[in-house]
Structure 1
Amino acid sequence: MALSLSKHVFPPVFEFASVSSQNANPKYREASVTALGVTSEGCMEWMKDRLEPILQIVLGALRDPEQMVRGAASFALGQFAEHLQPEIISHYETVLPCILNALEDVSDEVKEKSYYALAAFCENMGEEILPFLDPLMGKLLAAIQNSPRNLQETCMSAIGSVAAASEQAFIPYAEKVLELLKIFMVLTNDEDLRSRARATELLGIVAMSVGRARMEPILPPFIEAAISGFGLDFSELREYTLGFFSNVAEIMMMALHRAVPSSCCSLAFSSCNLDDGSAVDIDESDDENLNGFGGVSSDDEAHCEPRVRNISIRTGVLDEKAAATQALGLFAFHTKNSYAPYLEESFKILVRHSGYFHEDVRLQAITSLKPAHSIFQSHNEGLAKAREVLDTVMNIFIKTMTEDDDKEVVAQACMSIVDIIKDYGYMAIEPYMSRLVDATLLLLREESACQQPDDDGDIEDDDDTEHDEVLMDAVSDLLPAFAKSMGPHFAPIFAKLFDPLMKFSKSSRPIQDRTMVVACLAEVAQDMGAPIAGYVDRVMPLVLKELASSEATNRRNAAFCAGELCKNGGESALKYYGDILRGLYPLFGESEPDDAVRDNAAGAVARMIMVHPQSIPLNQVLPVFLKVLPLKEDHEESMAVYTCVSTLVLSSNPQLKRKAGRRPIPYQVLDLLLIMPSPSFLCGCVVAAASSYMI
């Protein structure tokens, strides 16, 4: 219910939790935090906005005298760490000490849930974890040596999160952890194999953290142990072993043949080809065969199994097959041409799995097809083979966009297409452009297979929709990719896509939808160039409104978009200069808390000055503009900003002779250069220009 109707679920849940957390009955207190935990995935956007009072409830419950309440609070924190990113991490100074205290709980059940919360919380941390690293590892290393198996497994998961977050800072603890893992890596009793699986997973994470130089000399016995574990009849162990092989491939890169022997690739193939039993609810309505992507060229046999619909199956074999499919892609991505001997067999498997009945396997196949395709393009097998592989991959991706029923799989297909466009340009996708545009249009209209309501669901009005971060952000990235590869020639296609895109900017849509549209328009304007002028009057009111948004991301994207519309919008944008400057002005002040927003505002002003300097009151604008330099966060704005400063000084603009504040503007430019952290060649131009001007 929370996933489908969060707008209606969150208010009563929050009210219930606020009241029940103070109830004398511990079952009510337990229910209050449990309700918050289990609804956090569906109500994530609502909870992010009320995170502080929600955390007060849950952290208070973590100190409750009743075990059941403390356990529920630990579980809720773990759920928050999974679903309320990145906002939850900003509260680490409050949350992490509470979790550390909970690790000392007298109840093993509370301890286990607290380790789960710790693992989930640390997984998304970075350098923030460093002050807590020593006490964390002290507790975890002690627990892993003196706890029952189930708690040891949770501890290993937590250590993995800590290692991933701390990276090189984890090195002092790596030797001790690796010594402990040797004990787990040789366990063979059935009841111990889950612990061995967790140890194998942790081994890969530690290897990634400490790097190749330290791991390569000690890897061989660990790899042998991992391979031997593959022979044990435990699918979860094989799943995590495949993940370990992928980690090794990443740190060893081109030296795959030394780190991961050919037998490891054979093991991945065997997992991909496992028989996972029968499925139900077969859909044979598509003669071309949705599941098999009929008509897709491939050297493999036509994969013509009918598509399974309306099924929810999760087995160890399925997870293993997904991990193996992922491993093939990661082997290809990290080891490049070293993977060539295994490429043909891998590609056949990936093509087959792109139409697998379960979305987890399809997702890994769609993800892995891109790096496999890249090797074929660079491998010396001739243009015909490269074109055949590209044809297979593009046909799969386009069919996935329109006919796959899982949003994450469709999003990955969109992202892979964007990558292909970036890597190989318009000529690679030109034969598929008509179908690509049709598929993109279908997704923007929310009419593709993955956007259809459930059988028992109702079609939502705009007022009830939520931002589809997984899918629509990926779809909206297609338009800038098209624009970058086609330049002004994208204009006729953009004309078809513009109105469906703008539907997401309506005031009734979520705030995230609007910034998605503005960001997309900004990048299209940047690369399509002059044809954007025809859209300025329809886009600028939205941009001006977003400059005053309560969300920093919206303000930042709006500032960037305003600059690009002015740069390429010609005379159509000129009449908005006054409104834009008034909208940008607050972003330069102390009331603006976000440096990236300020940097983008500076970039917008720079673009406006470069296009129409005579339309800017430079004596008023430049002091405000220069005051926020150098750029603090978004250094992609450097070219626009510092080129503008250099050009202005070189132009000997008479307005620059005026004093702004206590010093002439050229002197302020030199002051700016003295505090820049890393002057580029542009700064040298500005120095020369300013110096010559003052002479």
Structure 2
Amino acid sequence: MSAAGTPHPAMADLQLQLEQLLLASLDPAQVKPASEQLRTLLQQEQVEQRRLAYLLLAKQIVDGRQEEVRQLSAVLLRRKISKAMAVFDENQQKEFITSLVARFSQEPSASVRRAVVHLLASILRLATLQEAKRRELFSALSHMAMQNPSPGTDPQQLQQQVAAVSTFVAVAEACPDELVDYFDEFLTVFRHAFTCAAAGNELGTSALKGLRSLAEFAEEPDQQKKVCALVPNVMQIIAAAVQANEEDVATTGIQLIDDLLSNDNMAMKDGELLTVLDFLLKTVASRSDVDAGLRQQALSCIQWAAKQKPRVLCKSPTVVPAILDVLVAMGAEPDVQGGGPEDFEEDELTPHRIAAQCVDALAISLPSKYVFQPMLDRLTPFTQSTDILKKRAALVLLGIMSEGCEGVMRRKMKFFLPFVLESLRDQQPVIAASACICFGQFAEYLQPEIMLFQREALELLLLLLDNPSALVQQKACYALGVLFENMEAQDLEPVASEVVQRLVRTLHHTSCDKVREVCISAIGSAAAASGNGEEAPSNRPRAFDAFAPELFSLIGQIIKMPTGDVEGQNAGQAVCSPTTKARAIGVVGGLVQGTSEAAYAQELPGLMRLIMEQMIIDTSKDDDTGYAHDIRDEAFSCFSDVCIAMKDKFVVFLEEVMVRVFASLFSDEGLLHEEEGRGRQGAAAQLLDELDDEEDEAGDERLRNIRIRDGFLDELESAALCLKTLWENCGGHCMKFIAKTKEAIELLQGHFHEAARQQCCYLIKAVVAAAHGTFIGAPVKKETPKFALNPNVHTLWSEQLWPFLRRLMEEDEDKETVGDACVALGTLAEEVGPAIFFSREMNEEVAKQLLLLLKKKHPCQVIQDIDEDDDSRQEEEYLFEGISVLICGMAYAASAGTRQALQDTAASGSLAAVCNRQTFAALYQKIHPHLLDLATHRQSSAYAASGLGCLAEVFLAMQEDSAAYAADAKFLQAVLKGVQQDENEDYRRNACFCLGVVYEVASAQPAVNAKTAEFLAALHSIFRSREDLNKSEQLTLDNAAAAVARIILHPPATALPLEHLVPALLVSMPLQEDHEESEVMLQAALKLADDAATQPLVVQHIQKFLVGVILETAHPLTAKRVKPEVQEKVIVMLRQLLTNPSLPPSTLQGVKEAVASKPFALEFINSKF
């Protein structure tokens, strides 16, 4: 293009100067001065001079002699396009645009063509561009894009067509609102482009990308229908691309289908969804000759459907079976086409790993009856096969299913566990390793029944540590670690010696760093298990005490090892990987927690010094930067564990640890500006950054290139957690670090990483609780007496820390952070008491934020879709749990304040002045209508579930003060509706929980009494065999059973049909998932046995009653949640029943036979009766 209308005397010199500056900018050594000169050139005061500079820059795109100069000119001009177009006259604009379009066919460089495409797209997006010019340009591009190439077509014509379509794609990717009017034109271009088979891979991929972007801003139903109508065409393209091995086209096509499936506006009909899934399954996923990544993409769509549309899949009699057929076949495919199983696992995708991922999703998302038995039927022949790959598939997929199908698998272990245990003896390394993985999964998910086989499995796994295969050793250590995590101290004690000897020997003998790392973790798990359940003083002897000197010494040796390349280490030089060293540091805390003070006292000071030395790493060395954060992350985790074990005795290490905590919190070494070592392309990027300024409109790519080093954020979070732990356990000893802690709180509160802000909430809570405890002379707990804040603590809280917590609660846009802020304040209210609310203004501020959250108008709730998006729903549930904790904490503090004021008016009057039952009642009166609106939400079952759950928790905290609210007709109808519906398990489960709470707080209310028959009828359908229930349905049944228990404990005036309720209650015991409700179940059993009116019913169902109560009481998870006095009452009641002379002598033996598969129940019976 010409540079100006009239000849310019210095034109050639200026053109040469510009070219030289652009060339200089590609040299890292000259980029800064070149950028300054370019800035001066492009920002001259005279419009005519600026115009000339931009015209010359545009001329470089066309006439530049070097490819890099042409590309850089196009990118630079795109950054300045709004300013350039503003100084061009109409003719110059037209000539400029025409010259760019012409480059499509004339430019030999693909990178320059891409830069020109994006430059044209930025022009089309300019708000200042005249509509007539925009339409003219679109028309010209459309003409090029709509060509019909045939084999033998001129390559320049194809090049032109691809570039034109790419320009449409670049515009569509920005999704500008002002271009919605061009929707049909874009759609026509993309539809035509991906049907031009002769144009090849690049055009099809580009068109599909454009269609993905177009689907995002298709808001009108007619537009959405047009996009969805293309799905059959897209499937044809995917099929053809798969056949032709054109992975890029197939990948983009599947991504488009994935987008359409997950786009709420594009909701497909059930039949259409099943057709698409069937196509992906048969055309892509089932083909062993297709790239593994492509197959994984196809299966990800199926996983989405299982998660979001489980009922649609389950309604079809053929879809789930067809999916399982493909997954089982994939699970038995070789890792390398035509080969066998790998000798050692690597990170790349393989068919059997992809199959395991999908089975995992199906097992978690679908009811167990659609997954477990059908899979077992398909895998059983594999268990009897001599084919290594088939046996591996059976083991891996059985293990994977145990998460999701745990309920039925716990009851049917006899059908598959013998095969797994036998496979642990297999001489083939791949089979033995797979059996270890499988048993590790079982040890995690099939609790507690799997522990019946812990001794046999433990012996086999320990033997595998001597296997010559590193793969087998690694997986055996993994399985042992999981097993130890679930063992009780008394179970580990008899075998502790052998466990330690085997693991230590493995550590000494192995040359494989991966084995060393997981072996260290197993040692830590075993040590922690030896201290499980220990509430006694830390000086009580533990099972691992005898081995502490050897273990501490061995771990210390590993920590001292130089780090290096474990694959290329020199003979005779012991080195370990940074990951293994970090793991060894982390395990020290577990060893301290698993041994007594006498066992670790001598070794610990030296180890702590050693760990602190390892934290000093020169991050200026590139080789060291990657693992410095990992070392410090594990070190802070270790310090936290040791502090929890030692409590305030940790004060001997406090100062040195605090120094390192603050050093990490205030460090920015993990934030890197990518400006060095970029080469020529890096210099060009630096030039663009140098030339950027605040006024540029095309600033979408102006973000500075800041890279966060791997592990930096983990180190930060671990340091913050460690600081909180120090304040929680060392209390008043931390007060001398209060100034630095306040600085850390300020930093964390404003940090860009949400995990840092979340830790900040709990750090604030820990500091306030510690400061208050220091002045009252005792740790603050929920059950301890409440006192006014000391003046110094009052100032610390009201003027310094509350402002930070308030800001997190009011302004943060992350739901989990706001939820954590609510939890922190609610917990402080429970533990510190009413004094935490220091003024009426604070009370009003908290109430205001609660109302905003309940109205869904808080900044963190601006963008959300809790009904369709699972992550958004989980975040909202987390948020509402925090809201519940806060409201409950306020209710508890108000009640405690009023109660204490009545007991001691003189001392507690001021304590309860701001927060008492009267003030809370006034506050709750404002809050309740919004909670009720959520609970009765007509459009969103997810909001209804959150509302009911929140109300139930609040009513429990308020007790008798909530009776009138709980008996409200609108609320009772909402509870009934939630119990009756079966579309949303979260909604139904929370409704069941709410129903039980209604009777606990308001059973005497006439409205509740009148509704009882309807409530019981609604509950009836929930009580069914647990055999085929998934985890979510098990939780619902648990809450329904607890509701019945509460109704029995707090009966209404109307007589209850106990002859139906008691059998239903017994058949649901023990609870499978929600053991928080176990105490309610046992209290109901106590009442039934003690009440003369119900004793005949107990005798009538004595076998079921005894079995149910024993299973509930003896369950390991129940024992940790039920008060000791309740457990004792249950044991007394069971002894009375078992010694009742009217019962048959064989009753106890019958009970033992009924619980024979439950080791925890048998041990309970043998030890108590």
Q: So what's the TM-score if we normalise by structure 1? A: 0.71
Matched to 1:557, the amino acid is F
CA 1:495–1:118: 2 relative to 1, 3 Å: same
Quote the residue 2:942 is aligned against. 509
- The question of 1:323 aligning with 2:718 is answered yes
Quote the residue 2:388 is aligned against. 65
Pairwise mapping of residues 372-391 of structure 1 onto structure 2 (< 5 A)?
Answer: 372-380=767-775, 382-391=790-799
Matched to 1:182, the amino acid is G
- The question of 1:678 aligning with 2:1128 is answered yes
Contact 2:728 2:766 in 1 (8 A): yes
Q: Select 1:603's aligned residue among 1029, 1033, 1046.
A: 1046
Q: Select 1:240's aligned residue among 630, 634, 638.
A: 634
Contact 1:482 1:490 in 2 (8 A): no
CA 1:343–1:74: 2 relative to 1, 3 Å: farther
Quote the residue 1:287 is aligned against. none
Pairwise mapping of residues 583-622 of structure 1 onto structure 2 (< 5 A)?
Answer: 598=1041, 600-609=1043-1052, 612=1053, 615-616=1054-1055
Residues 387-419 of structure 1: CA distance to partner in whole angstroms, max 9, x if unpaired? 442454333334323433444333322221221
Q: Select 1:495's aligned residue among 928, 935, 940.
A: 928
Quote the residue 1:484 is aligned against. 892
Residues 207-245 of structure 1: CA distance to partner in whole angstroms, max 9, x if unpaired? 112243533343222222223323344332222222222
352-361 vs 86-95, greater mean Cα deviation: 86-95
CA 1:141–1:566: 2 relative to 1, 3 Å: same
- The question of 1:253 aligning with 2:647 is answered yes
Q: Select 1:563's aligned residue among 972, 993, 999.
A: 999
Residues 365-394 of structure 1: CA distance to partner in whole angstroms, max 9, x if unpaired? 222221112123334594254244245433
Pairwise mapping of residues 188-207 of structure 1 onto structure 2 (< 5 A)?
Answer: 188-190=562-564, 192=576, 193-207=578-592
55-64 vs 209-218, greater mean Cα deviation: 55-64
Distance of 1:627 and 1:319 partners within structure 2: 47
Distance of 2:352 and 2:832 partners within structure 1: 51
Contact 1:563 1:604 in 2 (8 A): yes
Residues 164-212 of structure 1: CA distance to partner in whole angstroms, max 9, x if unpaired? 3453575267535334213213224455344332111111012112243
CA-CA distance at 1:639 after TM superposition: 11
Quote the residue 2:664 is aligned against. 271
Quote the residue 2:408 is aligned against. none
Distance of 1:170 and 1:397 partners within structure 2: 43
Quote the residue 2:365 is aligned against. 46
CA 1:35–1:319: 2 relative to 1, 3 Å: same
Residues 2-51 of structure 1: CA distance to partner in whole angstroms, max 9, x if unpaired? 99886426569996564142256424997454235556998885168577
Distance of 1:313 and 1:494 partners within structure 2: 42
| Structure 2 residue matching 1:401: 3-state secondary structure | helix
How many matched pairs?
631
CA-CA distance at 1:543 after TM superposition: 4.5
Distance of 2:968 and 2:717 partners within structure 1: 45
CA-CA distance at 1:480 after TM superposition: 2.9
Identity %: 17
- The question of 1:26 aligning with 2:434 is answered no
Distance of 1:250 and 1:535 partners within structure 2: 46
Quote the residue 1:404 is aligned against. 812
Contact 1:329 1:371 in 2 (8 A): yes
CA-CA distance at 1:548 after TM superposition: 9.2
CA-CA distance at 1:422 after TM superposition: 0.8
38-47 vs 439-448, greater mean Cα deviation: 38-47
Residues 632-667 of structure 1: CA distance to partner in whole angstroms, max 9, x if unpaired? 975754998699899x98xxxxxx789956999xxx
Quote the residue 1:143 is aligned against. 506
CA-CA distance at 1:556 after TM superposition: 6.1
CA-CA distance at 1:572 after TM superposition: 2.6
Distance of 1:547 and 1:164 partners within structure 2: 45
Pairwise mapping of residues 103-114 of structure 1 onto structure 2 (< 5 A)?
Answer: 108-109=470-471, 111-112=473-474
Contact 1:276 1:318 in 2 (8 A): no
Quote the residue 1:434 is aligned against. 844
Matched to 1:579, the amino acid is E
| Structure 1 residue matching 2:737: 3-state secondary structure | helix
CA 1:448–1:22: 2 relative to 1, 3 Å: same
Matched to 1:395, the amino acid is P
585-594 vs 243-252, greater mean Cα deviation: 585-594
Quote the residue 1:462 is aligned against. 867
Quote the residue 2:70 is aligned against. none
- The question of 1:370 aligning with 2:754 is answered no
CA-CA distance at 1:464 after TM superposition: 5.1
Quote the residue 2:305 is aligned against. 8
For structure 2, the residue ranges without an aligned partner over 5 or more in a row are 1-254, 263-300, 308-312, 314-318, 342-348, 404-436, 533-541, 565-574, 619-627, 675-702, 776-788, 895-916, 1028-1033, 1101-1112, 1114-1125, 1134-1169
Matched to 1:408, the amino acid is E
- The question of 1:395 aligning with 2:803 is answered yes
For structure 1, the residue ranges without an aligned partner over 5 or more in a row are 282-307, 454-458, 650-655, 665-674, 684-695
Distance of 1:17 and 1:622 partners within structure 2: 39
| Structure 2 residue matching 1:356: 3-state secondary structure | coil
Distance of 2:485 and 2:704 partners within structure 1: 34
CA RMSD in angstroms, aligned pairs only: 5.6
| Structure 2 residue matching 1:357: 3-state secondary structure | coil
326-335 vs 311-320, greater mean Cα deviation: 311-320
Contact 1:421 1:428 in 2 (8 A): yes
Contact 1:490 1:528 in 2 (8 A): no
Residues 400-457 of structure 1: CA distance to partner in whole angstroms, max 9, x if unpaired? 234334443333222212211212334523533333334334444555444555xxxx
Residues 588-607 of structure 1: CA distance to partner in whole angstroms, max 9, x if unpaired? 99989978865552332322
Quote the residue 1:668 is aligned against. none
Distance of 1:85 and 1:537 partners within structure 2: 46
- The question of 1:215 aligning with 2:658 is answered no
Distance of 1:619 and 1:154 partners within structure 2: 54
| Structure 2 residue matching 1:204: 3-state secondary structure | helix
CA 1:407–1:396: 2 relative to 1, 3 Å: same
Distance of 2:960 and 2:746 partners within structure 1: 33
If you compute each CA radius of gyration, which structure gives the higher value, 1 or 2?
A: 2
- The question of 1:421 aligning with 2:816 is answered no
CA-CA distance at 1:255 after TM superposition: 1.7
CA-CA distance at 1:532 after TM superposition: 0.8
CA-CA distance at 1:130 after TM superposition: 4.3
Quote the residue 1:152 is aligned against. 516
Distance of 2:859 and 2:765 partners within structure 1: 23
535-544 vs 338-347, greater mean Cα deviation: 535-544
CA 1:391–1:88: 2 relative to 1, 3 Å: farther
Contact 2:1088 2:1098 in 1 (8 A): no
142-151 vs 395-404, greater mean Cα deviation: 395-404
Distance of 2:861 and 2:387 partners within structure 1: 43
Contact 2:484 2:529 in 1 (8 A): yes
CA-CA distance at 1:482 after TM superposition: 3.6
39-48 vs 559-568, greater mean Cα deviation: 39-48
CA-CA distance at 1:567 after TM superposition: 3.6
Matched to 2:581, the amino acid is R
CA 1:465–1:377: 2 relative to 1, 3 Å: same
Distance of 1:141 and 1:580 partners within structure 2: 60
CA-CA distance at 1:333 after TM superposition: 0.4
Pairwise mapping of residues 634-649 of structure 1 onto structure 2 (< 5 A)?
Answer: 634=1077, 637=1080
Quote the residue 2:285 is aligned against. none
- The question of 1:181 aligning with 2:555 is answered yes
